[in-house]
Amino acid sequence: MSFLDSYIYYIGAFGLILVGLYIILVKHNLIKVIVGLGILDTGVNLFLISVGYITKGTAPIFSKSGIDSKHMVDPVPQALVLTAIVIGVAVLALALSLAIRLYQHYRTLNLRKIREQRW
Amino acid sequence: MVNPVILIAVPLGLAFAIPLFALFWKDIAKYTPPVALGFNLVVSLLLLPKVLENPVIVSIGGLQPPFCINLVAGPVGVLFSAIIALVGLLVSIYALDYIKEGPTEKYHMLYLLLLTGATGLVLTGDIFNLFVFFEVLCISSYALVAYLRNKAGIESAVKYLIQGAVGSSLLLIGIGLLYGLFGTLNMADIAQNIKSVSPISVFVPMVLIVTGLGVEAAIFPLNAWLPDAHSSAPSSISAILSGIAIEVGLYAVARVLFTIFGVSLSTTPSFLLFLALLGILTLLVGEMCAFSQNNIKRMLAYSSIGQIGLIVFALAIATPYGVTGGLFQLVSHTLSKALLFLAAGYMIYQAGSMEISALEGMGRKMPLTCLAFTIGAFSLVGLPPFIGFPSKFLVVRAALATKETFLFVLIGLALLGTVIEGAYFFRVVQVLYFKGEKPNPGSKDAPVAALIPMFIFVVLIVVVGIYPKLVTDVLNSAASEFLNRLDYIRSVLG
Amino acid sequence: MRRIVAILLLIILAVGISLSLAKIPFGTPKTKVGKYYINEGIEETGAVNIVTSVVVNYRGFDTLGEVTVLFIAAIGLGAVLTTSVKGETRKIQPASLVLYTGCRLLFPLILIFGSYIFIHGHLTPGGGFQGGAIIASGFLLIYLGCRERRINRIASNLAESLGGLTFVVIGLLGLVFGGYFLLNFLPKGIANTLLSAGIIPIIYIAIGFKVGSELASIIDNLIEES
């Protein structure tokens, strides 16, 4: 259907975001939560790129002189996503190093059991 | 005339160069943050008189806004960067002796980068740049909370990281929606065109962005990470987190709401009342939880939550008195809370434990440190002649001047919160001074490198408390910058 | 119970976002800033890859922040995973001869490919971050295939600091020569040739080295730990 055709990228991106948020809210294993964080990041980046798309557009690179610039997609969301992907990678790397140390201290990765700090 | 970009570029360059310098001189990592932050303090104080009239707009890359990123060095931005530089400088002098074990070179690099991120966040005029500097601030604070690598530190850092990362993703979704609606990322440009779309379609990005920034600003109910993180970090980092990181997060929320979305008394009064209610709720929850604590750093962390609630309430009054009172309360909380954490750091080090009962009789063993703690506590509660008194007085007067009965009820609850706060701080002061045995001859006070910053904090608290006129002009121009968004738009876009 | 609350929250979020998305139709041009960059990009910056000119020149401050974030993550990871005591080294089973030789053969080719991507960032798709990630994957191949080799810690720390410092110094030179931070002050050259676009190739080369050595040191820290 044409509705699905035009909105498939948005639906896909938000599907990923909702799946990622569900994993973070519900699962107990720390590694699953970190994977959920990765899925959330991917969904947000996909959403940002699909905001910039123009139908029947091409990449904004003038590889041969005289290319028509009327049908190029928006370059700004691509620059934003470049930054967002690197920031997501940085957070995931730090999270995984903390998970390694947490396992060494507690011998388990179950977030329900890692609750030494109380009220 | 100095260019405000060097407030961000010079500390960043020095932080990148620390591993290079460390090849020649091992201890350089300790001394680089004080040098960089001293430079920042001097430049901010030089800029401050010039920006009180007109903000300095600097564009990066040589083009005109909105086609480039621009920095807006107005009264708010330069005031905040001066406070960040001052508190950062004093805490870095404290850390010269306090941080002795672990990878100390990395601590100092992360510390300098955290403060650079905070400075960049208050000076920028572009919303995606705000997100990038916000991430610089958050990620260095995740790493610094875990610095001690003990059980409590790693657990708090993991929980803080997960909540912070979800908040940042929500913030990014909000920014994406704003870009899709308006086609530009410049704050002044979005502010100019905000009326051209229907209110329902900007409501969702506003909620997402405020939620994302609110995780770092510790607004109820997004502050579950704060007690663990602020109590498990080393004390110098707790001072920076409670004194700078959450205040700068609150600045970001205020900038987004007041300048971009145009929330004001004339257009959205019910939303402001909701924010005021949320502020008082945060205040009461924070103070009541602090009252029941036995661990001194956890008590101070809950007190930070309470004070943030009071600042949110003052900003939500949205009159010039209210915003000036909120900013004054913010400055007073920064100075007092940083002093409290610095003093508590050495008291805990001598006592060997964080329980309040272990601090019995410290008043005789470490007289200067406990005096500093007491002054900080009295200032936070709001007793004259310390800085807490004029700031709280200004907030109460602003609430009474609006003549809204709902605000009268809320300010009554705020005064109840102050009473609870006084109760638990007096309990600690009583344990410090009026209990315990004679001091044994082996105990000594904190080292000189820690006493100097505490002394300077005490002097600032007393001097500004007696002469609040020293800072009220700057605070008044800062408040008018928040409330007059048309002036902001005009100065950026011409 | 927790699942029901989570699903309720997510449904509210989904409804809210779809209400807002209805105003952003898919596939239509929405921006004036993007159009300006496409039309004026080549004359103002000299790079034919408009995404590169946006990343390095028009929004170069964001790229500086991003480089800082990666630096913070590498340092934070090193600080969290430092061990003062050397644990017992696990007995590592050496790889077979085919794997060992194959990895050693592929490693320089991967390095050349990564360098090609970041040197030509202003002409073809790619750039500093992509090239740096490819170089780091070459190092990962060596860790997996020839298992006792480790990178030189001092060299990688040096590469990280020099890369970041070069970026900030070029920005400050722009301030000194032209009055604007990150001004493109070198000559722009002829478009579509290698030596064009002013400071953009220099910044991308610095970023490529920095990201490559940073990701390689992250991988080194994680392997040392386990």
Using a CB-CB cut-off of 8 Å, the residues of chain A touching C223 are none
Chain C residue with minimal CA distance to B158?
A: C80
Q: What is the DSSP letter of B59?
A: E
pLDDT (average), residues B235-253: 92
pLDDT score recorded for residue A2: 59
User: What distance lies between CA C115 and its chain's CA centroid?
Assistant: 13
- Closest-CA residue to B485 (of B133, B81, B72): B72
- The least confident of B99-103, C112-116, C212-216 is B99-103
The Cα B106–Cα C78 span in angstroms is: 8
* Burial group, residue C32, by CB count within 10 angstroms (0-12, 13-18, 19+): middle
Q: What's the domain count of chain B?
A: 2
Please write down the HEC assignment for all residues of B327-372: HHHHHHHHHHHHHHHHHHHHHHHHHCCCEHHHHCCHHHHCHHHHHH
Residues 6+ apart with CB under 8 A from B160: B141, B142, B145, B225, B228, B229
pLDDT (average), residues A39-60: 87
Reading the block at residue C201, the tokens are 């190739």
Q: Are residues B373 and B441 in the same domain?
A: yes
Asked if A7's CB is within 8 angstroms of C51's CB, the reply is: no
Interface test with B, best of C75, C165, C188 (most B CBs within 10 A): C75
Q: Which of B217, B234, B262 is a domain's end point?
A: B262
Q: What is the pLDDT of residues C151-207, one digit of tens each?
A: 788 888 889 999 999 999 998 888 888 778 777 777 777 777 777 777 888 899 999
Q: Is B161 on the interface with A (CB under 8 A)?
A: yes
pLDDT band of B131, cuts 50, 70, 90: very high
Q: Are residues B258 and B281 in the same domain?
A: no
Q: Which residue has the tokens 């004026």?
A: C40
Query: At residue A119, does pLDDT exceed 50?
Result: no
Q: Are residues B26 and B43 in the same domain?
A: yes
The Cα B430–Cα C197 span in angstroms is: 69
- Give the closest-approach CA distance of C95 to chain A in angstroms: 26
- Closest-CA residue to B392 (of B371, B411, B369, B368): B411
Please write down the HEC assignment for all residues of B147-166: CCCCHHHHHHHHHHHHHHHH
- Give the closest-approach CA distance of A21 to chain C in angstroms: 8
Strand, coil or helix: what is A62?
coil
The Cα A110–Cα A113 span in angstroms is: 6
Q: Are residues B274 and B254 in the same domain?
A: no
- Closest-CA residue to B242 (of B217, B224, B275): B217
Query: At residue B441, does pLDDT exceed 60?
Result: no
Confirm if A21 and B208 have CB atoms less than 8 A apart: no
**Which residues partner with B277 through β-bridges?**
none
Asked if A78's CB is within 8 angstroms of C9's CB, the reply is: no
The Cα A35–Cα A38 span in angstroms is: 5
- What phi and psi, each to the nearest 5 degrees, are found at residue A61? -130, 125
- What phi and psi, each to the nearest 5 degrees, are found at residue B126? -135, 135
Reading the block at residue B97, the tokens are 């002796």
Asked if B166's CB is within 8 angstroms of A105's CB, the reply is: no
Residues 6+ apart with CB under 8 A from C70: A86, A89, A90, C210, C211, C214
The Cα A93–Cα A87 span in angstroms is: 10
More confident position, B381 or A56 = B381
Strand, coil or helix: what is A54?
strand
pLDDT band of A29, cuts 50, 70, 90: very high
Using a CB-CB cut-off of 8 Å, the residues of chain B touching A76 are 179, 185
- Closest-CA residue to C149 (of C100, C102, C96): C100
Asked if C162's CB is within 8 angstroms of B20's CB, the reply is: yes
Chain A to chain C Cβ contacts (< 8 Å): 133
The Cα C124–Cα A59 span in angstroms is: 11
Q: Are residues B237 and B109 in the same domain?
A: yes
Q: Are residues B434 and B290 in the same domain?
A: yes
Query: At residue B181, does pLDDT exceed 90?
Result: no
Contact partners for chain A, using 3 or more CB pairs closer than 8 A, are B, C
- Closest-CA residue to B460 (of B70, B61, B82): B82
Chain B to chain C Cβ contacts (< 8 Å): 168
Confirm if B244 and B88 have CB atoms less than 8 A apart: yes
Q: What is the pLDDT of residues B49-91, one digit of tens each?
A: 888 878 888 888 777 777 888 888 888 899 999 999 999 999 9
Reading the block at residue B63, the tokens are 């083009």
Asked if A101's CB is within 8 angstroms of B154's CB, the reply is: yes
Q: Are residues B186 and B210 in the same domain?
A: yes
Confirm if C93 and C18 have CB atoms less than 8 A apart: no
- The least confident of A46-55, B313-322, C79-88, C112-121 is C79-88
Q: Would B396 be classed as within a structural domain?
A: yes
* Burial group, residue B331, by CB count within 10 angstroms (0-12, 13-18, 19+): buried
Q: Which of B262, B277, B311 is a domain's end point?
A: B262
pLDDT score recorded for residue C176: 85
Q: Are residues B186 and B252 in the same domain?
A: yes
Q: Are residues B282 and B234 in the same domain?
A: no
Task: Say whether the peptide bond before residue B66 is cis (omega within 30 degrees of 0).
Answer: yes
Residues 6+ apart with CB under 8 A from B196: none
Contact partners for chain C, using 3 or more CB pairs closer than 8 A, are A, B
As a whole number of Å, the CA-based R_g of chain A is: 20
HSE, CB side, 13 Å, CA atoms: give it for residue B8: 29
Confirm if B83 and B331 have CB atoms less than 8 A apart: yes
CA angle B88, B6, B93 (to 5 degrees): 20
pTM reported for the whole predicted model: 0.94
Q: Is A109 on the interface with B (CB under 8 A)?
A: no
Q: What is the pLDDT of residues B218-234, one digit of tens each?
A: 888 888 899 989 988 99
The Cα B81–Cα B75 span in angstroms is: 10
Q: Would B466 be classed as within a structural domain?
A: yes
pLDDT (average), residues B348-376: 83
Using a CB-CB cut-off of 8 Å, the residues of chain B touching C169 are 13
Strand, coil or helix: what is B21?
helix
Asked if A10's CB is within 8 angstroms of C55's CB, the reply is: no
B264: left (phi over 0), alpha (psi -120 to 50) or beta: beta
Question: How many helical (H) and strand (E) elements, i.e. helices and strands, does chain A have?
Answer: 3, 0
Query: At residue A1, does pLDDT exceed 60?
Result: no
Q: Would B346 be classed as within a structural domain?
A: yes
Query: At residue B445, does pLDDT exceed 60?
Result: yes
Asked if A97's CB is within 8 angstroms of C80's CB, the reply is: yes
Confirm if B482 and B254 have CB atoms less than 8 A apart: yes
Reading the block at residue B284, the tokens are 């009461």
Interface test with C, best of B60, B68, B155 (most C CBs within 10 A): B60
Asked if A96's CB is within 8 angstroms of C38's CB, the reply is: no
B126: left (phi over 0), alpha (psi -120 to 50) or beta: beta
Strand, coil or helix: what is B19?
helix
Residue C107 burial (CB count, 10 A): 17
B45: left (phi over 0), alpha (psi -120 to 50) or beta: alpha
Query: At residue C5, does pLDDT exceed 80?
Result: yes
Confirm if B262 and B318 have CB atoms less than 8 A apart: no
pLDDT score recorded for residue C107: 92
Q: Would B494 be classed as within a structural domain?
A: no
- Give the closest-approach CA distance of C194 to chain B in angstroms: 22
Question: C-alpha dihedral over B295, B300, B301, B302, to 10 degrees?
Answer: 90
Query: At residue B401, does pLDDT exceed 80?
Result: yes
pLDDT above 90: percentage of residues in chain B:
34
Query: At residue A63, does pLDDT exceed 90?
Result: no
Indicate whether this complex's ipTM tops 0.85. Answer: yes
When CB atoms are compared, the residue of A18, A52, A97 closest to C81 is: A97
Residue B414 burial (CB count, 10 A): 25
Q: Are residues B177 and B223 in the same domain?
A: yes
For residue B189, the enclosing domain spans: 1-262
Q: Which of B246, B262, B278 is a domain's end point?
A: B262
pLDDT (average), residues B408-418: 86
Q: Are residues B138 and B257 in the same domain?
A: yes
Asked if A72's CB is within 8 angstroms of C54's CB, the reply is: no
Contact partners for chain B, using 3 or more CB pairs closer than 8 A, are A, C
pLDDT band of B429, cuts 50, 70, 90: confident
- Give the closest-approach CA distance of A49 to chain B in angstroms: 9
Reading the block at residue B66, the tokens are 């909105």
Strand, coil or helix: what is C28?
coil
Domains and CATH numbers, chain A: 2-56+71-106 (1.10.287.3510)
B396: left (phi over 0), alpha (psi -120 to 50) or beta: alpha
- Closest-CA residue to B124 (of C156, A100, C59): C59
Confirm if B229 and B160 have CB atoms less than 8 A apart: yes
- Closest-CA residue to B211 (of A81, A25, A26, C13): C13
**Which residue type does B59 have?**
S
Query: At residue C226, does pLDDT exceed 80?
Result: no
Q: Is A40 on the interface with B (CB under 8 A)?
A: yes
Average pLDDT, chain B: 87
In this structure, is the dihedral angle defined by the CA atoms of residues B377, B378, B382 and B387, taken in order, positive or negative? negative
Question: C-alpha dihedral over B379, B383, B388, B389, to 10 degrees?
Answer: -160
- Give the closest-approach CA distance of A72 to chain B in angstroms: 16
Q: Are residues B28 and B99 in the same domain?
A: yes
pLDDT score recorded for residue C63: 92
H or E segment to which residue A71 belongs? none
pLDDT band of A84, cuts 50, 70, 90: very high
